[in-house]
Amino acid sequence: MVSFSQEMLDMFEVEPCKNAYEMGYLIGQRFSNLINSRLATDLILQNQLLPFARSPESQSLITALSEANRKKYPRYWDELTGMADGSGVPILSLILLNFRKEILPFLPKKEKTLHNDTPDDCSTVLVVSDSMAIAAHNEDANVALVGHTYLIKARLSNGLSFTAYTYAGELPSCAFGFNSNALAFTLNSVPPAEEEIIAGGIGRNFVSRDLLEATSMDDALLRIHSAEVSIGHSYNLIDTRTRKLLNVETASRKRISVHTVVGTPFFHANMYLHLQVQQVKDDNSISRQTRAAELPKQSEVDFLSLLGDTSNKQYPIYMTGPTLYTLCTTVIDLDKQTVSIFQGNPKNGQVSHVFQM
């Protein structure tokens, strides 16, 4: 077990701005130290992505990703540009962070054997029954992210507001968030096989940023389906108004599968469960999926115990290093319309934030 210091999450409240660039600039300015610290300590960025970006063969891929996402999401691109300027870091560094998953599969073969990327192994358990409706989620990432996350609470000029758990230097939110339309989401990485990935498509960070502004469950599904993504993802969509939970798995070429959670608790690690896609075998994910099937899932206490399980020393559900780390756990209660964030093992009940949706 590796010990890391986790300080209280910092939250920045952004009032309506004159444009997206200003919003990004204010976020970048506010978290300049954290963003610069992450850039300096992220070994995948320093040892793999930046050297690749300096090579001639990278230019067509980075240009294609940039142009496709800037065209589809001009406001979010302006937000990213503002964040770079506000934090005083090169825009290229933030492009590489935000398109990490879309770039790493295209590193030269000799580089791909060296990079130590992980599938951002998040675990989620969902249930909708007569007695409760809950989404509980471990936000897992490379240890480089420990101490490099924050909360953005933004109010937009159109009246919508959202709260997003955010990785330093990335668009809100590649993790989880909720908005004033009573919609929330959490995310699980999935590993499509190399032949399933398309170069230069839409990035997952831009899709999840778009979800923060969804007006309804149908609108959220449309935003996901309209994006011609490079690589796959799994979205857990939550609507407290309709008491509805969906797991949505996606892949390139606009492939999508929607599973409605009803009755039986649904656990998702980091393998495709219902979309038929060739995928990379992930022993960590398979182990967590197997362990979750063995544990009781009858109450919120059970869910927190499941997400805090460390019985498998090689592949625990709750991770404490040396490579992967559970940054926090969130519980979204659809009936109470609350979002709670736990820091430390959720079995111990250490709630750091509670939000009313």
Phi, psi of 346 (to 5 degrees): -65, -20
Question: In Å, how far are 61, 84, 102, 132, 256 from 58, measured between CA atoms?
Answer: 6, 21, 12, 49, 29
What region does 243 belong to: left with phi over 0, alpha with psi -120 to 50, or beta?
A: left
* Residues 197-228 pLDDT 10s: 999 999 999 999 999 999 999 999 999 999 99
Mean pLDDT to the nearest integer, 119-142: 92
Burial 280-306 (b: 16+ CB within 10 A, else e): eebebbebbbebbeebebeeeebbbbb
pLDDT attached to residue 294: 95
Q: Whole-angstrom Cα distance, residue 357 to residue 338?
A: 6
Residue 109 has pLDDT above 90, yes or no: no
Q: Which two tokens stand for residue 157?
A: 């000029």
Please, what are the domains in the chain?
Answer: 11-112 (1.10.439), 123-356 (3.60.60.10)
* pTM, 2 dp: 0.94
pLDDT above 90 for 118 = no
pLDDT score for 309: 97
Percent of the chain with pLDDT over 70: 95
Residue 119: pLDDT band (50, 70, 90) is: low
DSSP 192-248: B-GGG--TT-B-HHHHHHHHTT--SHHHHHHHHHT--BSS-EEEEEEETTTTEEEEE
Residue 183, both tokens: 């919609």
Question: Which residues lie across from 183 on neighbouring strands?
Answer: 239
253 DSSP 8-state letter: T
